Amino acid sequence: MRAWPKSARRLRKAHELRLRLPCKSLKFAFRLTATKFYTSRYDLPLLMNTELLSVVDENDCIIDTCARHIIHATGLRHRAVHILVFNEQGQLFLQKRSMKKDLNGGLWDTSAAGHVDAGEDYDCSAAREIEEELGISAALTLEPLFKLPATAAVGMEFIQVYHCIHNGPFVLASDEIDEGGWFSVAEISKRIAADDPLLTETFKTIWRQFEALTL
């Protein structure tokens, strides 16, 4: 049986969580206004991106739960994971984000990435994302590297970055990724030094921190 697309699984999960994880931190009228503005501006249906995420404070402590599109529209702090998958030759696998994505469509990004859903921790989210996006199970081999603070430069996300070794092949999630490829560390560093516009700003930030710590 074919697995549900990632977006459909997230929608089902959102419905399951909605009854027991209500939004509380902002007034309902403000949330509704923000939702209407966001969806009308970008011509998105109201039910798009309805997965629920944890809202966190400046210390990354959970203070609320809210829908993804409202969090993005109002600039609330939340959590995400990014995974750097290297092969045994030292090359890094990058994914080209689907043109269907509402953010950074068509740009190259880390090997796998995603939001930490409400009710998840960073480790569980990373294991889920790499399986959903690349079709591999790497829960036992994922190693945390560092965590970035939530700033405007990375979309107000606390980002836990992981690393693992895997040679592929991968089964790419077609609703998330248009293509993928292996790149040498030297090539990536050169492109980021040149501020390559085909790379996401978040990946550039992550790679600069990775270089500072490991290279």
Per-residue pLDDT tens for 31-89? Answer: 444 544 544 444 444 444 478 999 999 999 999 999 999 999 999 999 999 999 999 99
pLDDT for res 5: 55
pLDDT for res 6: 59
pLDDT for res 132: 95
Q: How many residues does the chain have?
A: 215
pLDDT for res 39: 45
Calculate the CA dihedral of residues 3, 45, 98, 11 and round it to 10 degrees: -30
Residue linked to tokens 């199970």: 137
CATH fold label, 78-214: Nucleoside Triphosphate Pyrophosphohydrolase (3.90.79)
Q: What CA–CA distance (Å, rounded) separates 116 from 112?
A: 13
* Below-50 pLDDT ranges, the chain: 1-4, 8, 11-12, 14-29, 31-33, 35-36, 38-49
User: Can you give the pTM of this predicted structure?
Assistant: 0.79
Please state the domain extents for the chain.
6-74, 78-214
Question: What does 92-149 look like in DSSP terms, one character per residue?
Answer: EEEEEE-TT-SSSTT-EE-SEEEE-BTT--HHHHHHHHHHHHH----TTT-EEEEEE-
